[in-house]
Structure 1
């Protein structure tokens, strides 16, 4: 049953035991200041024991506080955080699961900083970021490279660059947020320059260590990055030696639009994006977005729409999902459903560690006793 989901795949010399990936999901479980907390370790231990082939740990900032989305965002900006990251990688790998850490600069969404920086001074909700100068850009690129080297030193199996959700890499790529008149702005060739320079710098620093990319395929905004341009960029990422491309759609400025809220309730609502990117590249693609049943996920691989399945809230709401699908017990799956009003997201936005309102009463009680 669902034979495609449970076949191995090798990516740049690293073999995944099946096609299931835990996609990165920020839940506010790190300690204040971005430390690796007991709560975070318990969470990722459970995710690693679920049976997925690889866990991609949520974004860790390459520059604190200037590049950090919150004070509970993990940090990989200095060697001071290596011990905690080693512990985190160890917890995941002890379960027989590959460990990957996503690294990020939040740019205009850096809520931990008093002043945010971005490609251009484009208002972000009620806040105006400062445009990076040409002299500052090389230092930011080096921060990504140094962070990736720490990921490798901490014992992870891969590193992922966060180019999704409208963060800094995507901000340079988007014509909506990049209005520069220099070599980093204007044409797609120029707007992709920053991201490709980051990829080159990271790969030069980590050698044959696999480097993946979280990929914004469409901002779902009328003046934003669209699929036609992003597929051209994806082809260039593939040629640059990226290990895989993890496809998603939308940003913080489009997620709450009524039409996007409605769209996101549909099974596999981002599969069309993954399929378009996969047709443009020669590297494995990860698809995500309510791939909540084994039949939908397996069919997506069988149809050539994707190579791997990314599970985020699907896995968090029921860590037994992979085993239940494999064993033909899908009727027992506890599904993440949109009718909860995105309660977990509301908790995160208020700076609180999230729990799933769909969890059974006993699990909820245990969680609250331990972490509230």
Structure 2
């Protein structure tokens, strides 16, 4: 390209205007709320504290991303998301949730991922990937097939692998609904899972990914090993707390060993299975207490951020739903870590759809004074008004599907002037002089 006055983004295999600073950056960082302050994690700096959660799209071709993913994921970075995380990406073919899941078990899957990475980087934003293994929840149909009276199982003629679904123990997710019957992994296969995570992480690095997240939540394989309800093994991977966390620890160590020292490593967990009702009868489950115990181990393993979600491992879970039901879990883990001088970052997820809620979760340095504080009796209301910081990064999923411009919208609602994409400046809100 000759004779242009527009600065081009460097390191991208095509011309696109440089976004300097990136969209979603406040025009006055000094006065912006914490939500719009940059966040540095190792060698990676996010322009703001808003991240796109990994969301399954059931649209990959034999694990390979397509132009759908380029448009789907690229739109969030274009409109200001500081970090966009690629959906749960299987580390081996039988680790997919559905036949159409993203994968990174083959070198041929690097280039399609790199195309998405290049676009996000062209917007001067960061991109992560969530590495996963579905365990006993594998070989199931895409979301839109799950209607009343239909089966969850993806059969062989539908591209599934119902005879090769694996888990820590041979316990299906549910007796009804067409869930596959898993078999227990052998010790050699468990070691193979660790290698598969490490190999996928190497491929993510080759694709230019900025952040790697290990998926140990929502009832997938690593969760199944953590929980005494789904892990009935009698070898070194089952029984005690130390044994049940062993696979997750080995995966974390293996991934940390193959990614650059300056690359952030995240781990997502379900802070509770929401099965505490079984404790009264002696049926122990993975709960907040064990999550805190696990979280305290993570900084020494090289984990930089714990992404706190919940549930997904039991069909009879009892979730106490309120707007902050998952944010509260994140806040409690964060408090427990800081009480022992551990400063690992915490991410919060769940029902984050409003500007003030997103702001209050990560806001630092605010309190509530006087009579106003006395009127707030519930934890939810206290958190809603930002009495204390609950997390360091906000992960948003479904709201980004409803509003891809969520970052720009909440900046406007909060009265925070932010940079818009160069190409979209005609659409930026006009401000009074």
TM-score normalised to structure 1 length? 0.83
Given that 2:271 and 2:309 are in contact with CA atoms closer than 8 Å, whether structure 1 keeps it comes out as: yes
Q: CA deviation at 1:185?
A: 0.8
**1:39 maps to what in 2?**
68
- 2:268 paired residue among 196, 199, 214: 214
- 1:23 paired residue among 53, 66, 83: 53
**1:48 maps to what in 2?**
77
**2:377 maps to what in 1?**
none
- 1:77 paired residue among 72, 97, 105: 105
Bigger CA drift: 276-285 or 155-164? Answer: 276-285
Specify the SS of the correspondent of 2:270.
strand
Please give the residue correspondences for 1:143-162 in structure 2 after superposition, counting only pairs within 5 Å.
143-162=196-215
Within the alignment, does 1:321 sit opposite 2:406 as a pair?
yes
- 1:277 paired residue among 333, 338, 342: 333
Specify the SS of the correspondent of 1:328.
helix
Q: CA deviation at 1:32?
A: 3.3
**2:142 maps to what in 1?**
none
What's the CA shift string for 1:221-254, capped at 9, x where partnerless? 2343100011101111122111211110110534
Given that 2:117 and 2:207 are in contact with CA atoms closer than 8 Å, whether structure 1 keeps it comes out as: yes
- 2:169 paired residue among 93, 106, 120: 120
What's the CA shift string for 1:66-93, capped at 9, x where partnerless? 1111111001001011111111211222
**Runs of 4+ off more than 3 Å:** none
- 1:62 paired residue among 91, 108, 112: 91
Within the alignment, does 1:97 sit opposite 2:125 as a pair?
yes
**1:193 maps to what in 2?**
246
Q: CA deviation at 1:288?
A: 0.7
Given that 1:44 and 1:91 are in contact with CA atoms closer than 8 Å, whether structure 2 keeps it comes out as: no
**Structure 1 regions of 5+ residues with no counterpart?**
331-372
**1:163 maps to what in 2?**
216
Specify the SS of the correspondent of 1:285.
strand
**Structure 2 regions of 5+ residues with no counterpart?**
1-30, 140-159, 279-283, 338-342, 364-387, 416-433
Return the alpha-carbon distance in structure 2 between the equivalents of residues 229 and 168 of structure 1.
Answer: 17
Specify the SS of the correspondent of 1:236.
coil
Return the alpha-carbon distance in structure 1 between the equivalents of residues 309 and 189 of structure 2.
Answer: 29
Aligned residues: 323
Please give the residue correspondences for 1:266-345 in structure 2 after superposition, counting only pairs within 5 Å.
266-281=322-337, 282-302=343-363, 303-328=388-413
Return the alpha-carbon distance in structure 2 between the equivalents of residues 329 and 297 of structure 1.
Answer: 10
Q: CA deviation at 1:128?
A: 2.2
What's the CA shift string for 1:333-368, capped at 9, x where partnerless? xxxxxxxxxxxxxxxxxxxxxxxxxxxxxxxxxxxx
Return the alpha-carbon distance in structure 2 between the equivalents of residues 275 and 2 of structure 1.
Answer: 22
Given that 2:202 and 2:258 are in contact with CA atoms closer than 8 Å, whether structure 1 keeps it comes out as: yes
> How well do the aligned residues superpose, as a CA RMSD in angstroms?
1.7
Q: CA deviation at 1:205?
A: 1.5
Return the alpha-carbon distance in structure 1 between the equivalents of residues 99 and 61 of structure 2.
Answer: 6
- 2:302 paired residue among 233, 241, 265: 241
TM-score normalised to structure 2 length? 0.72
**1:228 maps to what in 2?**
289
Q: CA deviation at 1:2?
A: 6.7
Return the alpha-carbon distance in structure 1 between the equivalents of residues 111 and 83 of structure 2.
Answer: 21
Structure 1 pair 74–18 and aligned structure 2 pair: CA distance change class (3 A) = same
Specify the SS of the correspondent of 2:297.
helix
Return the alpha-carbon distance in structure 2 between the equivalents of residues 55 and 329 of structure 1.
Answer: 22
Return the alpha-carbon distance in structure 2 between the equivalents of residues 219 and 238 of structure 1.
Answer: 23
What's the CA shift string for 1:96-131, capped at 9, x where partnerless? 210101111111111142221111111222432111
Given that 2:120 and 2:126 are in contact with CA atoms closer than 8 Å, whether structure 1 keeps it comes out as: yes
Specify the SS of the correspondent of 1:319.
coil
Return the alpha-carbon distance in structure 2 between the equivalents of residues 71 and 280 of structure 1.
Answer: 40
